[in-house]
Structure 1
Amino acid sequence: MKAQRSAHQSRLEAALPVALARVAATPGVYAALWCGSAALGEATPHSDLDFHALVTGEHRWRSNFTVDGVPVEVFHNPVRQVRAMFAEEDAATVTMFAQGRAVLPHPELDALMAEAHALYAAGPKPRPLTEAQRFNLIEEVMDGRGVLDEPVHALVALSTVSSAVDQLYAVNGWWEVKHERWPADLAGRSPELAQGLNAVLVATDARSRQAALETLVTRLTGDLAYRDGGSEPEAVT
């Protein structure tokens, strides 16, 4: 397996010089960060090359192209936009700059990477579950109960578990990761939560799936009882 994974990594690294040259030749680009699974040495058969490029001017955009069959995606942003995303605790951007590799160096890129390392180490501010979020999760659980005997239950349950795990990351002050990384990431943070998620994912029938889902959701909501609540009034336009 290691040899196979190494071959995938080698394929992406072989495409790196040509891909980087194209990024560097883009008007306005003056620095570039290589990020994503390949930059971490974890390429799979489905990985691409990801770059974050710093640009002059006041515009941001994304581009994509291929190099010898390798897909390449580039995020172009001026420095102030990157810092704005840091301020918004945009998990993907913070993680890119904290874990990426400078392949077109520049002092401003070095500064952003240092900022991202500090932010990543500190973690995002925990965001307690709001009453509205609690109500919505309970509603989704009840939707699952309502289709327990229908094939669509799997879809409803997995949609709910997605909402619940997103909220678990927010409540605990953990940086979000891609959904496919949840099992491994949670195993390192909370084996109990990882087991709860796995129980939903591997359930072979609707009733066991629903029971596992409700156990996971109640870790956030405390119980599944409805409470009085509502949003604050907002002006209409």
Structure 2
Amino acid sequence: MPADPTDPQAQLEAALPAALDRLRRTPGVYAALWCGSAARGEGNAHSDLDFHALVRGDHRWRANYVVQGVPVEVFHNPARKVRAMFAAGQGDTIGMFAEGRVALPHPDLEALMAEARALHAAGAAPRPLHAAGPAPRPLSPQGRFRLLEEVMDARALADRHDPLHVLIACRAAHLAVEALFEARGWWKVKAQRWLPELTERDPQAARDLHALLSAPDPTARQTALEALAVRVTGDLTYQEGGSEPQLVN
């Protein structure tokens, strides 16, 4: 039965066999992980098929192509490189292996997925002693100053109801949310997943972010932005700070 043309997820899944056939025929590929929104059953009209492929040898590469009208993106890596990305704290890679689905099975892939699930769990909850998740990183003085500057720039635009406020407020919110994830020791996720992740981990931060994104006017948007920023800055006061002197060549 052909895929329902009105169902984007069905269209993506219908293209999966052809995508896997091309993966099997790619020299060096011996296992593959299906990941991303389609693998979670959340595909939309703008989604693609995402894969991590394990390859033999010493090379890594990225490929983009189209099968049955569906865009496909594949990251090819030796298994040892994937482990190196885990060790480097690449939260997006860890998340993909933790939540992905086996497309071409192999024991190496199963082992990597098990490692990723353990790492992801350690970074998705309050950090226990000796946990393998990322160490919490409080906002640095320079990072705090940069965030405050963005918030105050947004405040000036809100005061005069400048339509550019939405752009600056969202830019400041991006800094605030990334700083919050680092300060709490959570693996970073794509912006598309901020709200559901924050809803689980810090519901008030999720409410602040949602209020910012849905605010009807600059004043309400700025109020939400400042509430979100204070969650990582503590307050909105400027403090002394600066970088270390550097030698000029």
Equivalent residue letter for 1:22:
R
Structure 1, residues 111-145: CA drift from partner, whole Å, max 9, x if none?
A: 11111111111113211111111111111111112
Letter in 2 for 1:94: I
Contact 1:35 1:97 in 2 (8 A): yes
Letter in 1 for 2:242: G
Query: 2:32, 2:105 within 8 Å by CA — same for their partners in 1?
Result: yes
**Which residue number corresponds to residue 141 of structure 1?**
151
Deviation at 1:17, TM superposition (A): 1.1
Which consecutive unaligned segments of at least 5 residues does structure 1 have? none
> Runs ≥4 in structure 1, deviation > 6 angstroms?
none
Q: Is the 8 A contact 1:5 1:44 kept in 2?
A: no
Residue aligning to 1:77: 77
Superposition map of 1:165-176 within 5 A: 165-176=177-188
Q: Does 1:186 align with 2:198?
A: yes
Write the distance in 2 (CA, Å) between the matches of 1:143 and 1:185.
28
Q: Identity percentage over the alignment? A: 59
| Aligned positions of 1:85-96 closer than 5 A | 85-96=85-96
2:172 is the counterpart of 1:160: yes
Q: Distance in 2 between matches of 1:6 and 1:113?
A: 33
Q: Distance in 2 between matches of 1:155 and 1:9?
A: 31
SS in 1 for 2:7: helix
TM-score by length of 1: 0.92
Secondary structure at 1:74 match in 2: strand
Aligned 1:112-131 pairs, distance under 5 A = 112-123=112-123, 124-131=134-141
CA contact (8 A) 2:5 2:11 kept: no
Shift of 1:91: 1.1
Q: Which amino acid aligns with 1:179?
A: A
Shift of residue 69 of structure 1? 0.9
Look up the match of 2:19.
Answer: 19
CA deviations over 1:178-212 (Å, ceiling 9, x no partner): 21222222112222111111121111221221122
Which residue is equivalent to 2:126? none
SS at 1:231's partner residue? coil
Counterparts of 2:223 and 2:5, CA distance in 1: 37
**Cα contact 1:5–1:43 (8 A) shared by 2:** no
Question: Aligned residue for 2:58?
Answer: 58
Distance 1:38 1:64 in 2: 16
**CA–CA separation in structure 1 for the residues paired with 2:141 and 2:104:** 46
- Separation in 2 of the partners of 1:18 and 1:163? 40
Q: 1: CA distance between counterparts of 2:108 and 2:199?
A: 35
- Which residue of structure 2 lines up, in the alignment, with residue 45 of structure 1? 45
Q: Secondary structure at the match of 1:103?
A: strand
Give the drift of 1:53: 0.5
Between 104-113 and 145-154, the greater mean CA deviation after superposition:
145-154
**Uncovered stretches (5+) of structure 2, i.e. residues with no partner:** 124-133
Which deviates more, 143-152 or 28-37?
Answer: 143-152
Deviation at 1:235, TM superposition (A): 4.9
CA distance in 1, matches of 2:248, 2:6: 57
Report the 3-state secondary structure (helix = DSSP H, G, I; strand = E; otherwise coil) of the residue aligned with 2:57.
Answer: coil
CA distance in 1, matches of 2:101, 2:214: 36
Q: CA deviation at 1:62?
A: 1.0
Greater helix proportion: 1
**Count of residues in correspondence between the two structures:** 234
